[in-house]
Amino acid sequence: MKVSFILNGEPVTVDVKPNETLLDTLRLKLNIKSVKRGCERAECGACTVLVDGRPTYSCNLLTAQVEGKEVTTLEGLRDDPIVKELTSKFVERGAIQCGFCTPGFIITAYALLKSGKELTPENVKKMLEGNICRCTGYKKIIEAVTAAAEALKK
């Protein structure tokens, strides 16, 4: 079946199977590799994308469900000032080890910063709860997101 949606600002139409997940369509048909396959069960968050601006697990969504919607991945946000601030803070603060979970964290954190919510370490933790990192113990990730928020305020 054909599905049309907006991917990183550009309209795309892809031929997919009815049971195909957005994760597979992005990785295997649209060459979007920042979206990672971790658990395929909506637990780890490595496959997080934005659907109409909201962080969503792409492994838990059929491509057919995004018909007409806007899908955003890191590939489409590389020049965004919030993402630039986030990536530079992740690098500086040592928030990256194996890096497999990192794009998912950055997408989720981007949505948090974009929302304009007042940031406390507690709501940063709450917002990032749906992303698993097995390397860092999260401390430096939380510090990086908080530092990016501080820097963007100025």
Binding-site member from 6, 14, 40, 65 for another protein (CB under 8 A): 40
DSSP assignments along 131-144, one per residue: ---SSS-SHHHHHH
Please give the Cα distance from 114 to 49 (Å, whole number). Answer: 14
CA distances 105 to 18, 48, 145, Å, are: 29, 8, 9
In one-letter notation, the amino acid at residue 115 is S
Q: How far is the CB of 132 from another protein (least distance, A)?
A: 6
Check: CB of residue 74 under 8 Å from CB of residue 32.
no
Residues 97-126 that bind another protein (CB under 8 A): 97-103, 106, 124-126
Residues 55-84 that bind another protein (CB under 8 A): 73-75, 78
Q: Is 15 in the site for another protein (CB under 8 A)?
A: no
Q: Is 96 in the site for another protein (CB under 8 A)?
A: yes
Check: CB of residue 108 under 8 Å from CB of residue 154.
no
Return the SS3 of 6. Answer: strand
List the x/- string, 128-147, binding to another protein by CB under 8 A.
xxxxxxxxxxxxxxx-----
Q: Which is nearer to another protein, 37 or 65 (CB)?
A: 37
Q: Which residues bind another protein (CB under 8 A)?
A: 17, 27-28, 33-41, 43-44, 46, 73-75, 78, 86-87, 90-92, 94, 96-103, 106, 124-126, 128-142
